Amino acid sequence: MTDRLHRLRESAVLAVLRAPSAEIALDASEALIRNGILGIEVTYSTPDAAAVIAELVRRHGDAAYIGAGTVTTAEQAQAAAGAGAQFLVSPGTSAPLATAMIDTGLVVMTGALTPSEVMEAVDLGVDVVKIFPASLGGPSYLGALRGPFPEVPLMPTGGVNPDNVADWFAAGAIAVGAGGDLVPSSALTSGDFTEIEVRAKRFLAAVAAVRAGASA
């Protein structure tokens, strides 16, 4: 049986991209990808998000893991799927939206924070529960959720940085979503892609250290 989440596990980090323009989104994505961050979540707060996804897929194909974030309507889910997205992420969980996302056949991740919200997402059949904003509880909260939900794939987003990424994985994260600590809005606004490259390298080094420890 094929593991639907293989690419997510392999990527380990999804860069949550909220860019002020499609051009900056593409340039920032290229900075991330050439420095080893291959999971790119183009949020719908980015102008022309579907077009950005389509262009990244055209450039990189299966060499990168490209999807849509901040999906809040069925139309957005369908547009992202049509653009070639490999996964869809929503900040919360609602039954009609989750159903529309699942109907695309793509990997679906919807947001939750409380145990009740996690249960709702699981009941709807999503692939991954995005714990958001994870900064409110930290790795210890994710670990606490692991108690009643040991088999549910959890991905924390918010508050993840190179200094604590090992703690998130130790707490049971399948992958992590990283926004401002990886692609800060100031760097996107100014077009400082060198800053993004530096941060990408730090994240990649932190993940490599986690993997080295796991295989030791």
| Full DSSP string of 181-213 | TTS-HHHHHHT-HHHHHHHHHHHHHHHHHHHHH
- Whether 201 is catalytic is no
Active-site residue identified among 55, 120, 130, 197: 130
Distance of CA 92 to the CA centre of its chain: 14
Distance of CA 118 to the CA centre of its chain: 17
- Whether 195 is catalytic is no
Beta-strand ranges (E) seen in 1-82 are: 13-17, 39-43, 65-69
Rg of the chain on CA atoms, in Å:
16
Active-site residue identified among 30, 41, 55, 120: 41
Neighbours of 155 (CB within 10 A): 25
Sheet strand arrangement including 87-90: 154-156, 128-131, 107-112, 87-90, 65-69, 39-43, 13-17, 176-178
Please list the residues that pair with 156 across neighbouring strands. 131
The catalytic residue positions are: 41, 130
